[in-house]
């Protein structure tokens, strides 16, 4: 009995604690309900996003359209500039050499040797001397383009020499392969044909890989451009940048390139206008006659009149015969 009394006496003491816990639960629910209200207030208190002006939109769009990695203030050289530069460099580097090779096939005199020496000097001037001095080749001057790095300054001269000499080495590689490929099985020739054929094949493979890289790259960069982080961009003279003498004449060669580009644009505009005018002209409807040829509808309308005239001629002849009798 004493134990039961003790147990009975302990239960009334626990009841207030249970009531306190029960009272705490509604308070927790009130706190939970207050959280969404606070979130709503916070959402309402967010500052309004200011509307972007048209100028800001254009600036942001121009930043997004500019390729990543290209230095600010420069534009990539377009296809016409690259093509013009390639043709000028090819004509300068190989024009005299091709003439010497053609003469070599028929004559091996002193004139051919002089032409070969002149062609080598011209190649060295365009591939090594000009890139070291100005960072540009003769084709770059004519088309007003140049190589720059990501900082916007002239790229490494080694990069310019490698990029500009890739075509020359590929041509020499092709000649080496064609000349030495037939001598690979000749024991008397030794290992010389094998070495030259291997070198020529390497030069050809390097040129093909460089071409494929430039074709697939977003910035039209070959393997040497990627190695040195160079970009072929339009040449824009910097304030205070002036040249004189021979270098000024090279800069003025860009005027010929500008004139050529302007003529190309005019011809494109003329072709576009001509195509539009031809599409707007009404087409003459044609029908098939008995002979299978197509004639206009006006010709079909004229046929009955011609037949009537043809029928009237025999009748007029018959009347004339009767009158004579």
The total of other beta-carbon atoms located within 10 Å of residue 189's CB is: 13
Three-state SS for 91-113 is HHHHHHHHHHHHHHHHCCCHHHH
pTM (whole model) above 0.75? no
Alpha-carbon span 266 to 272, nearest angstrom: 10
Residue pLDDT, tens place only, 6-45: 444 444 444 444 444 444 454 445 444 545 444 444 444 4
Residue pLDDT, tens place only, 72-126: 888 899 888 898 999 999 999 999 988 888 887 776 566 778 888 899 999 999 9
Find, among 128, 164, 152, the residue nearest to 230 by Cα. Answer: 152
Contacts by residues 252-257 (CB-CB < 8 Å, ≥ 24 positions apart):
253/138, 253/141, 253/142, 254/141, 254/142, 254/143, 254/144, 256/142, 257/81, 257/84, 257/142, 257/143, 257/144
Q: Using an 8 Å Cβ cutoff, are 152 and 231 in contact? A: no
């Amino acid at each position: 009995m004493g134990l039961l009394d003790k147990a009975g006496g302990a239960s009334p003491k626990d009841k207030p604690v249970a009531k306190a816990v029960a009272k705490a639960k509604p308070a927790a629910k009130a706190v939970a309900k207050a959280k969404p209200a606070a979130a709503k207030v916070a959402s309402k208190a967010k500052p309004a996003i200011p509307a972007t002006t048209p100028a800001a939109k254009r600036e942001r769009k121009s930043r997004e359209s500019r390729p990543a990695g290209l230095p600010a203030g420069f534009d990539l050289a377009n296809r016409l500039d690259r093509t013009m530069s390639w043709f000028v460099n090819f004509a300068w580097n190989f024009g005299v050499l091709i003439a010497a090779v053609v003469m070599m096939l028929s004559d091996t005199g002193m004139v051919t040797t002089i032409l070969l020496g002149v062609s080598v000097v011209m190649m060295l001037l365009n591939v090594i001397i000009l890139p070291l001095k100005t960072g540009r080749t003769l084709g770059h001057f004519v088309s007003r383009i140049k190589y720059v790095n990501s900082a916007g300054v002239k790229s490494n001269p080694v990069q310019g020499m490698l990029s500009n000499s890739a075509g020359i080495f590929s041509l020499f590689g092709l000649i080496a392969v064609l000349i030495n490929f037939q001598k690979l099985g000749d024991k008397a020739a030794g290992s010389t044909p094998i070495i030259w054929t291997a070198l020529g094949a390497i030069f050809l493979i390097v040129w093909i890989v460089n071409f494929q890289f430039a074709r697939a790259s977003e910035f039209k960069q070959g393997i040497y451009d990627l190695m040195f982080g160079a970009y072929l961009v339009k040449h824009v003279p910097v304030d205070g940048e002036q040249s004189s003498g021979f270098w000024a004449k090279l800069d003025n060669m860009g005027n010929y390139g500008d004139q050529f580009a302007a003529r190309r644009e005019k011809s494109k505009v003329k072709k576009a206008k001509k195509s539009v005018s031809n599409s707007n002209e009404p087409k003459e409807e044609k029908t098939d006659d008995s002979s299978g040829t197509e004639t206009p509808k006006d010709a079909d309308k004229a046929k009955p009149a011609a037949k009537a005239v043809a029928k009237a001629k025999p009748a007029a002849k018959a009347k004339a015969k009767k009158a004579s009798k």
